[in-house]
Structure 1
């Protein structure tokens, strides 16, 4: 039986152009290589799963490539590139600072730096999770980081830049990696699904991308899970929400329709159905706040692009928002937000959410009454 390789490893970018959502980083690095402006120390920082270690490896491979192209990409076929791909390169050292964070570990690294590469131009030292180094280890590293030999390049990667001492930061060229946008993650998932010959629904991949919260590695892990769940047949929206235990947006459309109609009974029955399916009341009210926010965003053509959903769902938002006034949305959002804030401290959390739903269901009537009173006041004036 052939060993299964997770998508995060199988489709790990091998060159700069295949890196997803970090063009500001890759362009800068390619220009630095082209113009021979490489810094002696780089600090790659950002959230998990956005490509820090991947970019470090690509940079290490590219600067030692013997046949770089005009686009400053590694050829992938020279001896240096092949040895890198086979994890047998003597010019690239990776250190996990989470488990090698003592002074002795750094001293061993500093001792290695003294020896020039036997073949190739640079020796590259990639230190992952560098914020885990002890203060003594940081201090032992300072002098080497400030004045390394011309053939040595250090690439430090971290998710917590604030934990790194200022004296280290001042010696590094700092690159801040962004959370990857939902659209870019969804497009990458489509590419992988096509490569693996897995059928999919666009809305399912977009949901996975949203759930990943800007981390491509998380998205690929979820994708593998859903593909396994569906036995590699088809990644559907319904199977995805079922497997990830996500509340279907259909419920939010139904709840808001009931609230607009002032139907307290229907809104409470929908909430009861949600609870019976095992969903948490707090998750529901947070999702409802997001739904109101999306309806407000769709109200104006200028902000409509701020909502990241498929075209079909966007049409549903447009249809529902036409029947709702901005006053109702703002008032309902305020009530739902207060419910969210006080949810954890409530003694009866179900009643707390139900009371919020009752208040929101009475908003259309209250707003109509307020409009009538305002009109009467104008006439009397």
Structure 2
């Protein structure tokens, strides 16, 4: 059985098989057709109709009681080993697992934010005054979130002015990645009613690996004063596999510490971080291993901040953690940091060097996390290749 895809994990996906669109969970080297399994073994507390749909939207919208009932049913039935609803994973084609409603990306790593401050403001305090008081974020483009494997077209845009004072225009020459986790909202909320940190698990269905591709030269010219726009909105890749939030209970860890203490609406109780270890692979070379446990702001705090003004949640909302970086150079989650703003090329195993991405480069994000009963979970990878 493929490591990391046991009964403690059971990640969900939407797939095509033999001309049919199904939702499945992965178990080892197989996927389980949920509609077929429900027909053979009806799930207590779950309307079988939410399992007989082309994507995860209906199941996500059904809420935490149904998510828990479905997970218990799956673990009980699949533990018996009698399921006939198995399909080899090699025979299915994964698709976008859900329709993205809104996309928000945060900036929640102290190390990443500090590194960028040192790169761009070397003679000033690395962090801006608001950073330790709120999870900084921006609203992205839901329509450019794509499934793993979708080619990433190098974007064009305006860049900083040359000697004549006029901005340049052309393909980005500073194309970058951001290694992140994405949090998938299932249960909506009412507009005007903030969602507290204690309601995180009532609304978030699961977690996916996320690569927020970034054109740093376009971003550098446009982002003042309103923040990221075209330098970010051309493509964001997610894994087609959604790890249920409940599968990560054993991965919960305390936050590294927050100073000053956050405002009341951002206070979290108990361990609010996750011990998820990522790997950034560029053309077959592992160039970085970012640790999610180092993140300053937790996903529950991001959700609370995202809704504190009364903004509502919708089924299919996706929010990213922002770049995950550790304190050591080999744990930085972006090429901007790994090359220190393009000034320090780093080597790949084939003998070539990089500062930013070249056409034909392939980036793959992988991750593991501790699961129940000592099982290690392997999150579904996300990959993309740059095309000119």
Q: TM-score, normalised by structure 1?
A: 0.26
Q: Which is bigger in relative contact order (C-alpha 8 A, separation at least 6)?
A: 2
Higher Cα radius of gyration: 1
Structure having the higher helix fraction is: 1
